[in-house]
């Protein structure tokens, strides 16, 4: 096999796409990353610190970008896929810049979109100004280094709502987004770190600390940072006369309704298939779960799609942390290599 | 005995049986009618309402104009059988008088006249024969259509035929047999005596060529009589009871009666007037979108009539009113559903006396705003309304801002007709204390209940009406944009309360309102109806998806509705942006 | 709970619910007839949204759990409070058909109480 003659297109320039491309380039393939946004890095660009070790997100982005700055990698930003078909073992791609590409293999790293919080109207996102999403809180930390309400005050009380758009039949998502629990814990700690006077209360249905060191972080949030936890789902949020947000939940552990007035309500928005993920899983007639690509086999062929030569990486397949996404990207690169050993 | 043969006995037994049962039932139901309603009948008897009823009997029982309007093929089928048969009886009577010279005679003489007077030997005999042949042909056409409809419903413009009971099947088969048998009997007779008109005469001469018609006509008359006898005996217990039930229903309805709190009297007339035409099946979204095919009004009324109603059938209904809208007999089946939703074995009775023990202070205002339970889950509707009040500089008071009670309609819809009394008293007291001169609600369910059951001494408006009023009064000014809307009529506001124009007037001032076939009386139900306690989330999901896809076919920018429950229900699918009319207005004033 | 008997002894009721001997027939009947009832994860969204909860201690989540543990004595009294407004149904993230559960519970508990009355009458 001659790696040099094989060309691979990676769709999506987020962490998953970048890492797949970096690995493939190092294996000797020619890789082109097509990214619809003007910059690469994906959602990672918006993050502040990463759980569970509070690593600076900007630093990781930088590292991934540097790894991808490789002579065998061509990065095309501001360009999206219009069409993708497969004929006689070759792919045909048409881009928004009317470019035709014929790669030997394609990696879909089309990722996720955060759940549109407006759809859970009872939480008041888009209606009450001091209701924000977890992603907006990340940006707030990143851009201003502190947490403020819309009128610039440091909030005295912050409520964190888990499972917004996840595990919710009412928005058609039965699945667990897997990262919001730990993200809620992480953000609660960050708020407490920045503003020790602020009281932070997490409203949760279940705390799912499935990753390595997640449970320890949860413990730390209780022991060291004094984060409050209420086991109960918030049913509605209303604005009080003094501009606070009054949330209603049941404290299921004492079987009584509770109300709490907060200055800032942070919604832990779940992970949904991105529009490109949804569009191409449909167009390529690949079975999908909630719009996410379904791989050939969840165990042994999790990086392959049912289409020969079309590979899947990262959150295009479903909710995953950044750590998992990067590991998956490396696995995908390995599977691409294996594919060309046989073809 | 002249004009008698033993073969008429099955027919005669049938007629006697039918009319005994019929008279018995009618008298029994009439006795059940409460005194108040009887007085109403007395009052309206010698009025134009009675003439109107006679006319309606002609247009509906015989000509089936209403069915014809929605489905011409089906209408023609019903008309040809009903009108044709009626005319055969009527003309047949005159024919037999002409032939026998008697005005009063047993009914079998007219029915089997061809047997007793086989040749055209009386005045106008040829004309009578021709007219009778024409109507026989008309009925036969209808029967053929009916048979085709049974096996290929699409041919009659229907999606699926009604599933029938045993009595119905017996009645149906005997009904289908009656007219072909009459055709054969009369044709064989015509062949034997060389008489008959264009249909029976020609057929008779044709049969004569290869059949021993002389020995066939007598058994054919036997068959004809037996078929009639069976049909008449099965009729009072089958759907064909509607033929007589509807006549009673038309008169009583025009005299002002309706089904109230018990299934008796008028309700029995309604129950027995359903012809099970199945038009309600084709418009029922439970059938078209959720593939639930045994709960529609036709089946519900059938089960109610035969006392075989299950809890599931009674409760599995959106009460959207689409079936009532198309019912050619105008049966108010929703009322029957409500009455039948009581558990036959008893249930824990609700007790809201705790409301009386709750003292809530309410601030005063000119306008009382009642958001409703659901609106508290749609914060944008609530906040938009508050913004509109402020913009229009209205002194309002928010009745259920923190500690609100339910309006009471949902529990009423579950069949507990009087359970809401405590809630009514509670909310009424608050509204009264506020001193408001107008009540505005955001939820159409509340609106309907406040409007019809609260007997408030101030007017009630849904926010669509109120916004329209504010715009008219120039309290708020709207900016028109190029947004393209489709408006979804909530059932409780549209079909059930008749508010169609106000929201449209407002939306025409904020953007471009596109009209769709499924609007106003023909609007779809979002699927979220509180009236249905049986349907599960997956079935609801199918209805929602179907409705959104239908309404967004023209690719509008936004689907506008006026009900928090519709909005919440639509939110499950992300196909299109969904807004309440209050949100649209609040963002464009 | 303890109470003094005639001789001044204290008879204490068991502190725990015996899931071995609990009467789960009602719960199973409802679980069979309304499969979505099985989906409850006790998140409390229903009780939090509850309109009757504005005025009373009515807790539909707890009622549902008590039913599943066979603790039926107090349930019908609690269920009288329900206004049937349907907010719980809209709040439920798992699509439990809460209103039908309540309707059916009311019917079955009524029947169950009648049977108990009949049994005590016989004694």
Domain map of chain A by residue range? Answer: 3-111+274-342, 117-271
Which of B379, B537, B541 has the CB atom closest to A237's CB atom?
A: B379
Is the CB of residue B150 less than 8 Å from the CB of residue B161? Answer: yes
Nearest Cα of chain C lies from the Cα of A314 at a distance, in angstroms, of: 27
Task: Give the residue from chain C lying closest to B571, CA to CA.
Answer: C90
Instruction: Flag whether residue C54 sits within 8 Å of chain B, measured between CB atoms.
Output: yes
Same topology, domains A3-111+274-342 and A117-271? Answer is: yes
Instruction: Flag whether residue A215 sits within 8 Å of chain C, measured between CB atoms.
Output: no
Q: Which two tokens stand for residue A122?
A: 């009872």
Q: Which two tokens stand for residue A305?
A: 């799609």
Residue B275 sits at the vertex; the CA angle it makes with B271 and B279, to the nearest 5 degrees, is: 110
Is the CB of residue A122 less than 8 Å from the CB of residue B378? Answer: yes
> Is the per-residue pLDDT at C19 higher than 90?
no
With CA atoms as reference, report the closest residue to C64 among C113, C119, C101: C101
Residues 6+ apart with CB under 8 A from A57: A44, A47, A48, A49, A50, A138, A142
Which of chain B's residues have a Cβ under 8 Å away from the Cβ of A126? Answer: 380
Backbone angles phi, psi at C80, to 5 degrees: -60, -25
Which residue segments constitute the domains of chain B, with CATH numbers given? 6-32+63-237 (no CATH), 244-340 (1.10.1060), 358-469 (3.40.50), 478-587 (3.40.50)
Q: How far is CA B243 from CA B21, B61, B564, in A?
A: 14, 7, 43
ipTM at complex level: 0.89
Q: Are strands C2-4 and C10-12 parallel, antiparallel or unpaired?
A: antiparallel
Contact (CB<8Å) C51/B355: no
Instruction: Flag whether residue C112 sits within 8 Å of chain B, measured between CB atoms.
Output: no
Find tokens 């055709």 and name the residue. Answer: B183
Return residues 76-95 of C near B (CB < 8 Å). Answer: 76, 79-87, 89-91, 95
Range A241-247 contact pairs with CB under 8 angstroms and sequence separation of 24 or more? A243/A130, A244/A130, A245/A124, A245/A128, A245/A130, A245/A131, A245/A159, A247/A159, A247/A161, A247/A203
With CA atoms as reference, report the closest residue to B366 among B394, B408, B333: B394
Q: Which two tokens stand for residue B466?
A: 């109120």
Instruction: Flag whether residue A248 sits within 8 Å of chain C, measured between CB atoms.
Output: yes
The rounded average pLDDT for each run of 10 residues, N- to C-terminus, in chain B (589 residues) is 88 96 95 94 94 94 90 91 95 93 90 91 91 96 90 77 82 93 94 92 93 92 96 93 94 94 91 91 94 94 92 94 94 94 84 88 92 94 96 95 92 91 94 95 96 94 97 94 95 95 96 94 94 92 94 93 95 88 95
The beta-strand segments (E) located in chain C are 2-4, 10-12
Q: Look up residue A41 and give its DSSP letter.
A: S
What per-residue confidence (pLDDT) applies to A280?
A: 93
Task: Give the residue from chain B lying closest to C86, CA to CA.
Answer: B530
Q: Look up residue A168 and give its DSSP letter.
A: B
Which of chain A's residues have a Cβ under 8 Å away from the Cβ of B378? Answer: 121-122
Range C68-72 contact pairs with CB under 8 angstroms and sequence separation of 24 or more? C68/C24, C68/C27, C69/C17, C69/C19, C69/C22, C70/C17, C70/C19, C70/C22, C70/C23, C70/C24, C70/C26, C70/C27, C71/C17, C71/C22, C72/C23, C72/C26, C72/C109, C72/C112
Predicted TM-score (pTM) of the model is 0.90
Task: Give the three-class secondary structure for C93.
Answer: coil
User: What is the mean predicted confidence (pLDDT) over A94-116?
Assistant: 95
Instruction: Flag whether residue C103 sits within 8 Å of chain B, measured between CB atoms.
Output: yes
Reduced 3-state DSSP string for A184-245:
HHHHHHHHHHHCCCCEEEEEECCCCCCCCCHHHHHHHHHHCCCCEEEECCEEEEEECCCCCE
What per-residue confidence (pLDDT) applies to C4?
A: 57
Strand partners, B219: none
Residues 6+ apart with CB under 8 A from B38: none
Which of chain C's residues have a Cβ under 8 Å away from the Cβ of B535? Answer: 97
Question: Does B343 or C56 have the greater pLDDT score?
Answer: C56
Which of A205, A231, A250 has the CB atom closest to C47's CB atom?
A: A250
Task: Give the three-class secondary structure for A167.
Answer: coil
The predicted-structure confidence for A33-45, as pLDDT tens digits, reads as follows: 999 999 999 999 9
Q: Which two tokens stand for residue B527?
A: 């699927």
With CA atoms as reference, report the closest residue to B402 among A101, C55, C116: C55
Is the CB of residue C75 less than 8 Å from the CB of residue C121? Answer: no
Mutate to test the interface with C, among B311, B344, B347 (most CBs of C within 10 A): B347
Task: Give the residue from chain C lying closest to A257, CA to CA.
Answer: C48
State in Å, rounded, how far the first CA of chain B is from the last one.
Answer: 90
Residues 6+ apart with CB under 8 A from B16: none
What per-residue confidence (pLDDT) applies to C1?
A: 43
Q: What class, spelled out in words, does domain A3-111+274-342 have in CATH?
A: alpha beta
d(CA B430, CA B237): 52
Find tokens 């004094």 and name the residue. Answer: A226
Q: How far is CA A235 from the centre of its chain?
A: 25
Size of interface B-C (CB pairs under 8 A): 98
State in Å, rounded, how far the first CA of chain C is from the last one.
Answer: 25
Q: Are strands B558-561 and B512-514 parallel, antiparallel or unpaired?
A: unpaired
Nearest Cα of chain B lies from the Cα of A237 at a distance, in angstroms, of: 8
Mutate to test the interface with A, among B363, B372, B379 (most CBs of A within 10 A): B379
Is B294 exposed, middle or buried (CB count within 10 Å of its CB: 0-12, 13-18, 19+)? middle
CATH code at A117-271: 3.50.50.60
Is the CB of residue A108 less than 8 Å from the CB of residue A67? Answer: no
Q: How far is CA B490 from the centre of its chain?
A: 19
CATH code at C23-122: 1.10.1060.10
Give, for B122, the enclosing helix (H) or strand (E).
none
Contact (CB<8Å) A121/B378: yes
Strand partners, B521: none
Cis peptide before B349 (omega within 30 of 0): no
| Residue A5 banded pLDDT, cuts 50, 70, 90 | confident
Contact (CB<8Å) B377/A236: yes
User: What is the mean predicted confidence (pLDDT) over C24-38?
Assistant: 92
Nearest Cα of chain C lies from the Cα of A182 at a distance, in angstroms, of: 18
d(CA B232, CA A179): 72
User: What is the mean predicted confidence (pLDDT) over A190-210?
Assistant: 96
Mutate to test the interface with B, among C83, C87, C107, C118 (most CBs of B within 10 A): C83
Size of interface A-B (CB pairs under 8 A): 41
Sorted by where each begins, the domain ranges of chain C are: 23-122
Is the CB of residue B413 less than 8 Å from the CB of residue B532? Answer: no
Is the CB of residue A41 less than 8 Å from the CB of residue A65? Answer: yes
With CA atoms as reference, report the closest residue to A9 among A27, A28, A23, A30: A30
Q: Which two tokens stand for residue B380?
A: 């944008």
> Is the per-residue pLDDT at C120 higher than 90?
no
As a whole number of angstroms, the longest Cα–Cα distance in chain A is 72
Residues 6+ apart with CB under 8 A from B327: B279, B280, B297, B333
Q: Which two tokens stand for residue C33?
A: 């007839």
The predicted-structure confidence for A205-242, as pLDDT tens digits, reads as follows: 999 998 999 999 999 999 999 999 999 999 999 999 89
Strand partners, C2: C12
Q: How far is CA B580 from CA A262, B71, B473, in A?
A: 27, 34, 22
Nearest Cα of chain C lies from the Cα of B104 at a distance, in angstroms, of: 59
Which of B315, B351, B530 has the CB atom closest to C80's CB atom?
A: B351
Chains touching C, CB cut-off 8 Å, 3+ pairs: A, B
User: What is the mean predicted confidence (pLDDT) over C95-104?
Assistant: 93
> Is the per-residue pLDDT at C7 higher than 70?
no
Residues 6+ apart with CB under 8 A from C53: A257, C47, C59
pLDDT, mean over chain C: 88
Residues 6+ apart with CB under 8 A from B42: none
The predicted-structure confidence for A131-144, as pLDDT tens digits, reads as follows: 999 999 999 999 99
Which of A167, A168, A248 has the CB atom closest to C48's CB atom?
A: A248
Nearest Cα of chain C lies from the Cα of B443 at a distance, in angstroms, of: 12
Contact (CB<8Å) B406/C107: no
Which of chain C's residues have a Cβ under 8 Å away from the Cβ of A169? Answer: 92-95
Instruction: Flag whether residue C90 sits within 8 Å of chain A, measured between CB atoms.
Output: yes
Contact (CB<8Å) A121/B568: yes
């Amino acid at each position: 096999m001659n790696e040099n003659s094989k060309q691979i297109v990676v769709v999506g320039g987020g962490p998953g796409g970048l890492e797949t491309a970096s690995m493939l380039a190092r294996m000797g393939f020619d890789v082109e990353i097509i990214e619809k946004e003007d910059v690469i890095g994906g959602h990672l660009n918006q993050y502040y610190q990463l759980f569970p070790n509070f690593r600076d997100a900007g630093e990781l982005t930088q590292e991934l970008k540097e790894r991808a700055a490789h002579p065998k990698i061509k990065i095309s930003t501001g360009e999206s896929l219009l069409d993708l078909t497969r004929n006689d073992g070759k792919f045909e791609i048409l881009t928004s810049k009317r470019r035709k590409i014929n790669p030997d293999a394609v990696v879909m790293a089309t990722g996720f979109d955060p759940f549109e919080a407006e759809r859970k109207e009872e939480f008041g996102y888009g209606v009450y100004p001091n209701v924000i999403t977890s992603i907006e809180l990340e940006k707030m930390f990143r851009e201003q280094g502190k947490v403020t309400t819309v009128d610039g005050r440091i909030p005295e009380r912050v409520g964190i709502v888990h499972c917004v758009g996840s595990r919710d039949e009412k928005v058609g998502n039965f699945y667990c987004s897997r990262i919001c629990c730990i993200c809620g814990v992480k953000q609660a700690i960050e708020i407490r770190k920045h503003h020790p006077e602020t009281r932070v209360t997490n409203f949760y249905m279940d705390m799912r600390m499935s990753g390595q060191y997640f449970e320890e972080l949860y413990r730390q949030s209780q022991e060291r940072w004094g984060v409050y936890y209420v086991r109960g789902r918030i049913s509605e949020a209303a604005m009080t006369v003094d501009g606070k947000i009054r949330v209603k939940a049941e404290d299921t552990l004492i079987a009584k309704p509770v109300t709490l007035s907060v200055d800032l309500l942070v919604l832990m928005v779940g992970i949904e298939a991105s529009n490109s993920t949804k569009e191409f899983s449909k167009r390529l007639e690949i079975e999908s779960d909630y719009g996410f690509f379904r791989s050939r086999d969840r165990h042994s062929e999790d990086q392959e799609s049912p289409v020969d030569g079309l590979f899947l990486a990262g959150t295009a397949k479903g909710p995953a942390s950044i750590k998992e996404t990067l590991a998956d990207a490396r696995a995908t690169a390995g599977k691409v290599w294996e594919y060309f050993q046989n073809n | 005995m002249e004009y008698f043969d033993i073969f008429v006995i099955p027919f005669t037994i049938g007629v006697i049986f039918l009319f005994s049962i019929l008279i018995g039932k009618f008298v029994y139901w009439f006795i059940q009618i409460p005194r108040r309603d009887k007085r109403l009948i007395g009052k309206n008897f010698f009025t134009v309402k009675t003439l109107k009823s006679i006319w309606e009997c002609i247009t509906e029982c015989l000509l089936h104009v209403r069915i014809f309007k929605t489905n011409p093929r089906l209408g023609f089928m019903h008309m040809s059988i009903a009108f044709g048969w009626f005319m055969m009886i009527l003309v047949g009577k005159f024919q037999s008088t002409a032939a026998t010279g008697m005005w009063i005679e047993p009914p079998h003489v007219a029915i089997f006249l061809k047997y007793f007077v086989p040749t055209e030997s009386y005045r106008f005999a040829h004309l009578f024969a021709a007219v009778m042949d024409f109507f026989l042909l008309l009925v036969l056409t209808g029967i053929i259509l009916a048979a085709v409809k049974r096996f290929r419903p699409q041919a009659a413009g229907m999606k699926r035929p009604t599933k029938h009971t045993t009595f119905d099947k017996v009645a149906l088969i005997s009904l289908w047999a009656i007219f072909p048998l009459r055709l054969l009997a009369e044709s064989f007779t015509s062949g034997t005596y060389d008489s008959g008109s264009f249909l029976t005469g020609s057929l008779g001469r044709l049969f004569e060529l290869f059949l021993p018609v002389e020995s066939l006509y007598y058994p054919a008359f036997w068959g004809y009589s037996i078929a009639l006898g069976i049909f008449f005996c099965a009729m009072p217990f089958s759907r064909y009871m509607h033929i007589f039930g509807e006549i009673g229903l038309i008169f009583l309805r025009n005299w002002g009666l309706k089904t109230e709190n018990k299934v008796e009297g008028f309700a029995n007339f309604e129950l027995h007037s359903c012809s099970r035409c199945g038009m309600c099946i084709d418009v029922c979204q439970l059938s078209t979108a959720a593939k639930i095919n045994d709960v529609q009004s036709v089946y519900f009324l059938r089960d109610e009539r035969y006392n075989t109603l299950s809890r599931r059938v009674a409760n599995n209904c959106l009460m959207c009113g689409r079936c009532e809208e198309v019912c050619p007999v105008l049966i108010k089946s929703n009322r029957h559903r409500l009455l039948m939703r009581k558990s036959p074995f008893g249930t824990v009775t609700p007790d809201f006396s705790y409301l009386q023990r709750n003292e809530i202070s309410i601030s005063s205002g000119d306008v009382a705003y009642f958001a409703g339970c659901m609106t508290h889950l749609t914060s944008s509707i609530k906040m938009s309304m508050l913004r509109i009040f402020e913009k229009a500089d209205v002194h309002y008071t928010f009745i259920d801002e923190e500690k609100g009670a339910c309006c009471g309609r949902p529990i009423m819809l579950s069949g507990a007709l009087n359970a809401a009394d405590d809630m009514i008293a509670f909310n009424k007291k608050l509204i009264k204390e506020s001193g408001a001169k107008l009540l505005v609600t955001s939820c159409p369910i509340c609106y309907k209940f406040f409007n019809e059951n609260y007997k408030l001494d101030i007017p009630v408006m849904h926010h669509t009406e109120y916004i329209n009023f504010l715009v008219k009064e120039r309290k708020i000014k709207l900016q028109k944009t190029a947004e393209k809307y489709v408006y979804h009529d909530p059932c409780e506001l549209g079909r059930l309360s008749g508010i169609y124009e106000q929201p449209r007037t407002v939306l025409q001032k904020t953007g471009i309102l596109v009209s769709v076939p499924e609007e106003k009386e023909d609007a779809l139900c979002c699927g979220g109806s509180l009236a249905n306690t049986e349907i599960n989330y997956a079935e609801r999901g199918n209805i929602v998806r179907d409705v959104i896809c239908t309404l967004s076919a023209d690719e509008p920018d936004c689907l506008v509705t006026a009900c928090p429950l519709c909005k919440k229900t639509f939110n499950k699918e992300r196909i299109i942006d969904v807004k309440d009319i209050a949100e649209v207005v609040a963002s464009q004033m | 709970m303890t109470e003094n008997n005639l001789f001044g002894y204290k008879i204490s009721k068991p502190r725990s619910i015996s899931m071995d001997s609990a009467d789960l027939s009602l719960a199973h009947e409802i679980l069979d007839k309304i499969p979505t009832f099985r989906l409850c994860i006790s998140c409390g969204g229903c009780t939090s949204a509850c309109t009757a909860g504005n005025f009373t201690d009515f807790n539909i989540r707890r009622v549902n759990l008590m039913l599943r543990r066979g603790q039926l004595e107090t349930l019908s009294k609690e269920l009288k409070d329900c206004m049937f407004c349907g907010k719980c149904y809209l709040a439920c993230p798992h699509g439990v058909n809460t209103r039908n559960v309540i309707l059916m519970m009311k019917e079955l508990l009524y029947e169950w109480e009648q049977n108990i009355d009949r049994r005590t009458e016989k004694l």
